[in-house]
Amino acid sequence: MHILSPIKISYRYLMAAKFRSFLTILGIIIGVASVIIIMAMGRSAQALILDQVTGIGSNLLGVLPGASDEKSPPPAAMGIAVTTLKYGDLQALRNGRNVPEVIDAAGYVIGTATAVYNGTSLSASFEGTTASYINVENAAVATGRFFTKDEEMDMSRVAVLGENEAKDLFLGASPLGKVIKIKEENFTVIGVLKKRGSSGFGVTSQDDAIFVPLRTAQKILLGIDHLGFIRLKVSDAKFVPQAKAEVATTLREQHHITDPTNDDFSVRDMASAIEIITQITDVLRYFLLVIGAISLLVGGVGIMNIMLLAVSQRIREVGLRKAVGARDADVQVQFLIESVFISGLGGIIGILIGIAFSFLVATIMQYLQYTWPFIISWQSVAAATAVSVGIGIVFGIYPARKAAEISPMEALRYE
């Protein structure tokens, strides 16, 4: 039997019932498109987040409150409030005798509030940080200046704005010297930071934040005495492992910890952060792939149903073919090829839709100035193709067997 013959029969059958055929392959189209979109957008989102992390610098160490092993995110990263990290810890880590490889360090607390200027209100994230932020984060001031060490220590009510905050709150006018309200407290704007770029995925960008002195944020805005986290700048990336060990030793002395298993802090370098972020985004991507697989399963059931319907509608045709010499295997192959043709057609359409949608999303995200690459791997296309064909085979086996079991005598008497 020539392989084109059952394909032509499948095509004529599909065209004879266009709407029903469309509904049959719709599940395959949605499932395959979902797989392509999830894999493409998952990789793009992962690239965006990792670009933001690596862009900060490979010579940074992060200290977070709460203990965890190297392969798990610290409690603070999971939204659990831990108050063990103090300003005294930051001062100890800045001390060159304790960690000689550290050239600078910054402490942070983060909050949200409504910023108000001249009747304009804006929901904003604020960061309380130290004067060393500029050096540690490799940030730069566009206009004005950043706050000083003295302003950090005496709880001065000054603020430095990210570029987007300055535009949204002051509508293009110069904010320098103007007074804004944060939680009903007056803050004088002394500077605006240069644009760094969007970070996305719930991570506040430097461009969308308001920066105030650390002590001011702790005592006046948040009413706390602990730090959210600390970042340390190491003189060279090759000294990171040694500095990491010395940071842990210093904090154990600060917290009077003699057994490392009782640590109430976590020290992370960029490599660890990248590994954790990669693991988290991979888990999310695989979870979404399962949802896409469910759509493929539904599509497979639809194909089996339409093929069973085709068997019942073409009993006389099958009986006639068998009466003139067609073998059971020939009938099975015909119906299997028809099933694969239907699922393969849905797979091709789904792949094209998935690629087009992923490209559209990448274009929009890049227009919004996100670092969002358009990534379509041949592995994802090959996997989607193989899965769609496999579904046609798996869900076509039962209808094909039912067709092969038709008796020529009974078929020719069938009305």
Q: What is the pLDDT of residues 135-190, one digit of tens each?
A: 998 889 999 999 999 998 888 999 999 998 999 999 889 999 999 999 989 999 99
Question: Contact 177/191 with Cβ under 8 angstroms?
Answer: no
Residue 204 has pLDDT above 60, yes or no: no
Cα 95–Cα 99–Cα 103 angle in degrees, nearest 5? 70
Q: Are residues 239 and 284 in the same domain?
A: no
Residue 36 has pLDDT above 50, yes or no: yes
User: What Å distances lie between residue 150 and 130, 131, 132, 216, CA to CA?
Assistant: 10, 9, 12, 12
Mean pLDDT of 406-410: 67
Q: Are residues 203 and 99 in the same domain?
A: yes
Which has the higher per-residue pLDDT, 15 or 153? 153
Q: Are residues 37 and 149 in the same domain?
A: no
Q: Are residues 236 and 94 in the same domain?
A: yes
Q: Are residues 285 and 255 in the same domain?
A: no
Mean pLDDT of 203-229: 89
> Which structural domain, as residue segments, surrounds residue 255?
83-263
Half-sphere exposure (Cβ direction) of 346: Cα atoms closer than 13 Å: 32
Three-class SS of residue 249? helix
Residue 73 within any structural domain of the chain: no
The last residue of one of the domains, among 228, 263, 298, is 263
Say what the alpha-carbon torsion angle 175, 151, 110, 277 is, to the nearest 10 degrees.
100
d(C-alpha 131, C-alpha 44), whole Å = 34
Residue 67 within any structural domain of the chain: no
Residue 58 within any structural domain of the chain: no
Q: Are residues 399 and 283 in the same domain?
A: yes
Helical ranges in 224-269 per DSSP H: 240-254
Residue 61 within any structural domain of the chain: no
Helix (H) / strand (E) element for 124: namely: strand 120-129
Which pLDDT does position 76 carry in this prediction?
A: 63
Residue 32 has pLDDT above 80, yes or no: yes
Residue for token pair 């190297």: 70
19: buried, middle or exposed (CB in 10 Å: 19+, 13-18, 0-12)? exposed
Counting the structural domains of the chain, the total is: 2
Q: How confident is the model at residue 108 (pLDDT cuts 50, 70, 90)?
A: very high
Mean pLDDT of 313-333: 71
Q: How confident is the model at residue 410 (pLDDT cuts 50, 70, 90)?
A: low
Q: Are residues 156 and 243 in the same domain?
A: yes
- CB-based contacts of 251, cutoff 8 Å, min separation 6: 63, 89, 92, 93, 257, 263, 265, 267
Helix (H) / strand (E) element for 265: namely: strand 265-269
Question: Contact 39/285 with Cβ under 8 angstroms?
Answer: yes
Cα 280–Cα 286–Cα 292 angle in degrees, nearest 5? 145
Q: Which of 16-20, 70-74, 95-99 is most confident?
A: 95-99
Which pLDDT does position 58 carry in this prediction?
A: 65
Residue 20 has pLDDT above 90, yes or no: no
Residue 112 within any structural domain of the chain: yes
Q: Are residues 228 and 302 in the same domain?
A: no
Q: Are residues 311 and 218 in the same domain?
A: no
**pLDDT tens digits along 5-14:** 666 766 676 6
Which has the higher per-residue pLDDT, 253 or 322? 253
Which pLDDT does position 192 carry in this prediction?
A: 95
Residue 247 has pLDDT above 90, yes or no: yes
Q: How confident is the model at residue 224 (pLDDT cuts 50, 70, 90)?
A: very high
The last residue of one of the domains, among 234, 263, 292, is 263
Over its C-alpha atoms, the chain yields an Rg (Å, rounded) of 31
Q: Are residues 228 and 316 in the same domain?
A: no
**pLDDT tens digits along 380-399:** 788 778 877 888 788 778 77
pLDDT averaged over the chain?
Answer: 81
Q: Are residues 328 and 245 in the same domain?
A: no
Q: Are residues 148 and 235 in the same domain?
A: yes
Percent of the chain with pLDDT over 70: 81
Residue 26 within any structural domain of the chain: yes
Which pLDDT does position 353 carry in this prediction?
A: 92
**pLDDT tens digits along 48-58:** 776 666 556 66
Residue 343 within any structural domain of the chain: yes
> Of 209, 229, 104, 222, nearest to 160 (Cα)?
209
| Of the candidate ranges 110-114, 234-238, 356-360, the one whose mean pLDDT is the lowest | 234-238
The last residue of one of the domains, among 263, 285, 301, is 263
Percent of the chain with pLDDT over 90: 30
Residue 203 has pLDDT above 60, yes or no: no
Which has the higher per-residue pLDDT, 204 or 8? 8
Three-class SS of residue 409? helix
Which pLDDT does position 190 carry in this prediction?
A: 96
Q: How confident is the model at residue 199 (pLDDT cuts 50, 70, 90)?
A: very low
Residue 65 within any structural domain of the chain: no
Which pLDDT does position 161 carry in this prediction?
A: 95
Mutual orientation of helices 378-404 and 270-313 as an angle, nearest 10°? Answer: 30
User: What Å distances lie between residue 8 and 14, 211, 214, 344, 369, CA to CA?
Assistant: 10, 68, 74, 14, 49
Which pLDDT does position 178 carry in this prediction?
A: 94
